[in-house]
């Protein structure tokens, strides 16, 4: 089995073991499956479920848990990670939530050093598009842990310059957080820091050496969608975001795309690499959600 499929299963299984996800998933999974109908298709998943993701998120009364923004943000991030991976089944792109699943070379490339302090962007999702390489297609036949995971790290490091990475920051609120992805995207896009003691990447790794790098933002937002327009300050702050700006509602021109729009924006290599039109391919993969992809628990 290919590394990306083993990794996807590990990521999704970990998501569904989170305490907050276990509380919400009985409600969310019913809403998702009901929305997909008896014969799931890519059209339903992308055009109906994606633009309703904020509604699904709120169906468990998440407004109540927003008093703990970190808790609400973590579960929104988990739901987004689940949805993105579900839409990407069968492709070479995996969206990762927990740092322990991220290859070491990717962590190194994303590390920012300021003076003597090393840091990374806030807790984010990391989408990795692996190269179409036989080394990774047949690398493992067991969960990637221990010595086997070290071996995976070594092979991915060897193929580093052929890998694509998209950092996806997820926030439940938009107004208070728009400047954060804007600043991180500027840092990762900068070609140099002449007057401050800062640098991107360690151990010879950097995002500019990747085949592609971008930074995206995905929000609910819990502060509503009506007041946002193309001239709103939070919208203007994210206009130039390299990976785009999305929310869990239908897209609004000049404001934000639906979360389902992120695939064509940032994962073209993966969806074009399936050998046939991606919507048709995804519909075929969805026929196996009771068997091959049963770990999604929907």
Residues of the chain with pLDDT > 90, as a percent, come to 60
pLDDT of residue 96: 96
pLDDT of residue 146: 52
Give me the mean pLDDT over the 87-97 stretch. Answer: 96
pLDDT of residue 283: 97
> Hey, how many other C-beta atoms are within 10 angstroms of the C-beta on 298?
18
pLDDT of residue 140: 52
Structure token digits, residue 93: 């792109």
* Global confidence as pTM: 0.91
3-state DSSP call for residue 26? helix
Structure token digits, residue 233: 């300050």
Are the C-beta atoms of residues 167 and 121 closer than 8 Å to each other?
Answer: yes
Q: How far apart are CA 294 and CA 209, in angstroms?
A: 36
The residue count of the chain comes to 298
Residues of the chain with pLDDT > 70, as a percent, come to 87
Would you say residue 195 has pLDDT above 80?
Answer: no
Give 6 or 31, the one with higher predicted confidence.
Answer: 31
pLDDT of residue 134: 85
Would you say residue 92 has pLDDT above 70?
Answer: yes
User: What does the mean pLDDT of the chain come to?
Assistant: 87
Would you say residue 4 has pLDDT above 80?
Answer: yes
Say how far residue 10 (Cα) sits from the centre of its chain. 15
Confidence of residue 64 (pLDDT cuts 50, 70, 90): very low
Would you say residue 189 has pLDDT above 90?
Answer: no
3-state DSSP call for residue 90? coil
Residue 214 backbone phi and psi in degrees, to 5: -150, 165
pLDDT of residue 142: 47
Q: How far apart are CA 75 and CA 43, in angstroms?
A: 25
């Amino acid at each position: 089995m290919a590394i990306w499929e083993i990794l996807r299963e590990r990521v999704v299984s970990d998501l569904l073991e989170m305490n907050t996800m276990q509380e919400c998933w009985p409600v969310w999974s019913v809403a998702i499956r009901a929305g997909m109908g008896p014969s799931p298709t890519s059209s339903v998943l992308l055009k109906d479920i994606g633009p309703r993701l904020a509604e699904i998120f709120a169906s468990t009364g998440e407004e109540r848990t927003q008093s703990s923004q970190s808790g609400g943000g973590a579960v929104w991030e988990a739901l987004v990670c689940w949805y993105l991976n579900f839409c990407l089944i069968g492709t070479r792109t995996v969206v990762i939530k927990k740092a322990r699943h991220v290859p070491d070379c990717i962590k190194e490339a994303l590390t920012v050093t300021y003076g003597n302090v090393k840091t990374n962007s806030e807790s984010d999702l990391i989408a990795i598009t692996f190269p179409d390489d036989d080394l990774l297609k047949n690398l493992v036949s067991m969960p990637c842990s221990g010595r086997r995971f070290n071996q995976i790290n070594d092979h991915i490091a060897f193929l580093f310059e052929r890998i694509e990475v998209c950092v996806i920051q997820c926030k439940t609120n938009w107004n208070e957080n728009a400047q954060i992805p804007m600043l991180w995207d500027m840092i990762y896009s900068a070609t140099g820091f002449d007057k401050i003691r800062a640098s991107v990447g360690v151990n010879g790794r950097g995002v500019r050496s990747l085949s592609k790098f971008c930074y995206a933002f995905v929000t609910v937002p819990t502060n509503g969608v009506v007041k946002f327009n193309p001239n709103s300050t939070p919208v203007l702050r994210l206009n130039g975001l390299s990976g785009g700006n999305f929310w869990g509602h239908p897209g609004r021109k000049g404001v934000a795309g639906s979360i389902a729009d992120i695939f064509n924006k940032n994962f073209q290599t993966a969806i074009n690499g399936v050998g046939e039109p991606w919507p048709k391919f995804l519909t075929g993969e969805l026929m196996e959600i009771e068997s091959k992809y049963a770990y999604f628990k929907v």
